[in-house]
């Protein structure tokens, strides 16, 4: 199988994450990718992962009788953090026999997404209703795990402890609005318009925020179409992160377990398989969203040259007339001479003068060789 020199050469990849973005970007850039950062959410660093993981280990060591989920975002974030630390199987084993109490339908949905069922849901979506319900039932002598989102100042821990419960608090890092909304929106528009090869997600909350913006900008249908036909890869770090994207009807690629390394390997594998390209005497020609890669080399083309080459590559050696290629050129005045000039520039800039054949009295064709 022919492939480009670097498996991700010429690929424009958008990282929607705020957390661990540099680690992911570095791994992708080493493999040739062009990485753009456009976080869908900002991280509120009121608590670091080490504390959350330590508290999760304590819960695993002393399994709870009751698990309280206060937010869907926070509950999913907790599961993702446990999975990233290699603890998710132990965590699920520790909480499988517990009663799940949810503060509203979003928390219930996150519980169900993790494979459990909520025993009771606060209809008012308030911590007060949840607190009063459990206190009325009685929690004395029970182990109660409370997942918080935000600063944990909802009063639940103290109320349950005062009633005789052993409380394990789990403060999940919080999320806020994107620090650069314009950048976030720009790269969603680019994904819809064909300017991106892959969009990468490392958290379900980030995926939900990205989807909300894509819907508000009317971009989701175009993104879905591009993902379905293979022109755009939507990639998630694991199944929990993929959940909101799949629920929105997007074709999503993800490894089975939450691992950045596994995500990078998946991207390399998929883009290597797609890099077979069109065989030419100068090597395989692979078209990316904003570049062309010939024999492992990213060609220094103008936007017009790129679109002409894209049209010729799509024809796979069949002749395109000057009129057909003129339709690719900008401006209504593009005629046969403009096409000829553009082809000459393409040949010169590509460093492969024989890449495009002139077919006398018919037009132009890509020089395709036997695979």
* pLDDT tens, residue by residue, 199-238: 999 888 899 999 999 999 999 999 999 999 889 999 998 8
pLDDT value for 333:
58
pLDDT value for 335:
73
Return the domain boundaries, the chain. Answer: 12-43+178-276, 49-172, 285-366
Pick the CATH number of 12-43+178-276 from 3.40.50.2000, 3.40.50.300, 3.40.50.10090, 3.30.420.40: 3.40.50.10090
pLDDT, mean over the chain: 89
Dihedral Cα 333, 336, 337, 339, nearest 10 deg: 90
Q: Which residues pair with 298 in a beta bridge?
A: 293
User: Residue 336: which of 355, 362, 313, 312 has the closest Cα?
Assistant: 362
Q: How many Cβ atoms are within 10 Å of 104's Cβ, its own excluded?
A: 20
DSSP 160-189: HHHTT-EEEEEEEPEEES-S-HHHHHHHHH
Q: What mean pLDDT is predicted for residues 21-40?
A: 93
Q: What mean pLDDT is predicted for residues 4-26?
A: 85
Q: What mean pLDDT is predicted for residues 41-55?
A: 77
What's the full length of the chain, in residues?
A: 371
pLDDT above 90 (res 139): yes
Banded model confidence at residue 106, pLDDT cuts 50, 70, 90: confident
pLDDT value for 371:
56
Do 285-366 and 49-172 have the same topology in CATH?
Answer: no
CATH domain 49-172 topology: Rossmann fold (3.40.50)
Dihedral Cα 34, 40, 46, 48, nearest 10 deg: -40
User: Residue 113: which of 84, 81, 72, 150 has the closest Cα?
Assistant: 72
Pairing state of beta strands 143-149 and 12-15? unpaired
* Distance from C-alpha of 205 to C-alpha of 258, rounded to nearest angstrom: 15
pLDDT above 50 (res 4): no
Q: How many Cβ atoms are within 10 Å of 299's Cβ, its own excluded?
A: 20
pLDDT above 70 (res 47): no
Copy the structure tokens of residue 353.
């003068």
Helices (H), 62-198: 72-84, 88-95, 105-113, 127-137, 156-162, 181-193
* Distance from C-alpha of 346 to C-alpha of 353, rounded to nearest angstrom: 8
pLDDT value for 332:
64
pLDDT value for 2:
36
Do the beta carbons of residue 300 and residue 345 sit within 8 Å?
no
| Strand locations in the chain (E) | 12-15, 34-37, 42-44, 66-69, 99-102, 120-121, 143-149, 166-172, 174-176, 198-201, 233-236, 252-253, 285-287, 292-294, 297-298, 356-359, 363-366
Place of tokens 């540099």: 22
Distance from CA of residue 18 to its chain's centroid?
A: 12
Buried/exposed code over 139-167 (b: 16+ C-beta within 10 A; e: otherwise): beebbbbbbbbbebebebbebbeebebbb
* Distance from C-alpha of 56 to C-alpha of 223, rounded to nearest angstrom: 37
Q: Report domain 285-366's class.
A: mainly alpha
Q: What mean pLDDT is predicted for residues 27-36?
A: 94
The vertex-296 CA angle with 290 and 302, nearest 5°, equals 35
């Amino acid at each position: 199988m022919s492939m480009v020199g670097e498996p991700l050469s010429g690929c424009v990849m958008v990282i929607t994450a705020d957390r661990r973005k540099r680690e992911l970007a570095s791994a992708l850039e080493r493999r040739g990718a062009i990485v753009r950062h456009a976080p869908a959410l900002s991280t509120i660093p009121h608590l670091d992962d080490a504390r959350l993981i330590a508290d999760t280990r304590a819960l695993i060591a002393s399994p709870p009788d009751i698990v309280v989920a206060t937010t869907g975002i926070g509950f999913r974030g907790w599961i993702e953090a446990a999975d990233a630390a290699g603890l998710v199987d132990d965590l699920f084993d520790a909480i499988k026999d517990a009663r799940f109490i949810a503060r509203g339908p979003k928390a219930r949905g996150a519980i169900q997404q993790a494979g459990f069922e909520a025993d009771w849901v606060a209809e008012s979506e308030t911590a007060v209703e949840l607190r009063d319900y459990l206190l009325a039932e009685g929690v004395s002598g029970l182990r109660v795990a409370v997942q918080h989102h935000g600063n944990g100042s909802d009063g639940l821990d103290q109320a349950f402890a005062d009633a005789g419960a052993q409380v394990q608090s789990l403060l999940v890092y919080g999320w806020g609005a994107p620090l650069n909304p314009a950048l976030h929106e720009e790269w969603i528009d680019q994904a819809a318009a064909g300017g991106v090869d892959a969009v990468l997600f490392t958290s379900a909350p980030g995926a939900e925020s990205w989807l909300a913006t894509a819907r508000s900008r009317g971009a989701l249908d175009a993104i879905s179409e591009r993902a379905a036909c293979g022109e755009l890869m939507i990639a998630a770090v694991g199944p929990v992160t993929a959940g909101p994207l799949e629920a929105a009807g997007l074709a999503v690629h993800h490894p089975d377990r939450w691992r950045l390394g596994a995500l990078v390997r998946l991207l390399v594998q998929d883009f290597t398989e797609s890099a077979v390209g069109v065989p030419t005497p100068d090597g395989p020609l692979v078209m990316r969203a904003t570049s062309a890669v010939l024999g492992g080399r990213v060609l220094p083309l103008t936007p017009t040259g790129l679109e002409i080459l894209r049209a010729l590559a799509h024809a796979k050696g069949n002749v395109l007339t000057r009129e057909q290629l003129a339709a690719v050129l900008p401006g209504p005045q593009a005629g046969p001479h403009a096409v000829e000039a553009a082809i000459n520039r393409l040949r010169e800039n590509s460093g492969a003068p024989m890449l495009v054949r002139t077919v006398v009295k018919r037009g132009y064709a890509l020089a395709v060789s036997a695979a």
